[in-house]
Amino acid sequence: MAQDQIRELLEQVRAGQLDIDAALKKLQWPGVAEIDFATVDLHRRQRCGFPEIIFCEGKTSEWVAGVVRELVAAGQDCLATRVSEEQSAYLAKVFPQAEQDRLARTFWLPASSERETVGKVSIITAGTSDLPVAQEAYVTARVLGTNASLIVDVGVAGIHRLLRHYDRFTESDVIVVVAGMDGALPSVVGGLVDCPVIAVPTSIGYGAAFSGVAPLLTMLNACSANVLVVNIDNGFKAGYVAALIARRHGGKRT
């Protein structure tokens, strides 16, 4: 339950409009918003540190807008991922104040303009073709309250390009590495740093890459012990977990 909802509940108790037992019952159950096409979790911020995030694939524009309205009414931040062109155009009309990133395919409507950022997340791509997935990770990590940055097109075919940025990414609390083709870059980065490396295989590559299966297997077999792997093209999950690590770390390196 959001803070303003708790305050309203307490005011009702003080005014005699609601007895104590009824108030306790409301406080005990996680807050949800029931609409015809969705049950919106309004308690996720209290449990997990960030409100429910809308995955837009398979949803109509009206459904997405309906969930956004419920989150906004509850005074919560609203992030939506995998926003299609049609959904983007519709949401832009209904919520013109929101920030949309068409490369990342994200929609972002914060409850407040005041944002505190902690920790440092670096997102690195092997190639320019991996940038849409990396941008999804970047936007996610940024809106979750971290200092996120992108280093683009520094794959193993020209490893000197990566080493030029050594000072930038070695001071990170967590690194996200996005790569298709052979998927070798995360293991290389992992061997250079003392922080977690989250590897994201992409579906970029010729036929034998099997739409991301080849880099996925390479990353799962990475020699570097600090490399963890998320699903193919899942920039959101990588950015979310990276933000959780960076925020818990608080930007303090030991």
Q: Report the SS3 class of residue 39.
A: strand
Confidence of residue 113 (pLDDT cuts 50, 70, 90): confident
Would you state the structure tokens that stand for residue 29, as one six-digit string? Answer: 């159950």
**pLDDT value for 69:** 94
Tell me the HSE value of 78 on the side-chain side, using a 13 A CA sphere.
24
CA distance 107 to 153: 25
Q: Report the SS3 class of residue 133.
A: helix
Q: Are 78 and 71 in contact (CB under 8 A)?
A: yes
- What percentage of the chain reaches a pLDDT higher than 70? 94
**pLDDT value for 4:** 66
Q: Are 235 and 134 in contact (CB under 8 A)?
A: yes
Confidence of residue 28 (pLDDT cuts 50, 70, 90): low
Query: Looking at the predicted structure, is the pLDDT value of residue 63 above 60?
Result: yes
CA distance 27 to 222: 46
Query: Looking at the predicted structure, is the pLDDT value of residue 108 above 50?
Result: yes
The residue among 24 and 98 whose pLDDT is bigger is: 98
**pLDDT value for 164:** 94
**pLDDT value for 248:** 85
> 35: which strand partners?
38
CA distance 14 to 81: 41
**pLDDT value for 7:** 81
Span 157-179, mean pLDDT? 95
Report yes or no on whether pTM surpasses 0.75.
yes
pLDDT in tens, 124-147: 999 999 999 999 999 999 999 999
Confidence of residue 2 (pLDDT cuts 50, 70, 90): low
Q: Around Cβ 108, how many Cβ atoms within 10 Å? A: 18
**pLDDT value for 254:** 43
Q: What is the enclosing helix (H) or strand (E) of 89?
A: helix 85-94
Tell me the HSE value of 250 on the side-chain side, using a 13 A CA sphere.
2
pLDDT in tens, 198-234: 999 999 999 999 999 999 999 999 999 999 999 999 9
Q: What is the enclosing helix (H) or strand (E) of 35?
A: strand 32-35
The domain 118-249 having CATH identifier 3.40.50.1970: the answer here is yes
**pLDDT value for 252:** 52
Confidence of residue 29 (pLDDT cuts 50, 70, 90): low
CA distance 174 to 153: 19
Q: Are 119 and 247 in contact (CB under 8 A)?
A: yes
Span 61-85, mean pLDDT? 94
**pLDDT value for 124:** 98
Q: Where are the chain's structural domains?
A: 31-109, 118-249
Using alpha carbons, select from 156, 166, 164, 170 the residue that is nearest to residue 125. Answer: 156
Span 163-167, mean pLDDT? 94
Least reliable range by pLDDT among 49-53, 99-103, 105-109, 184-188: 49-53
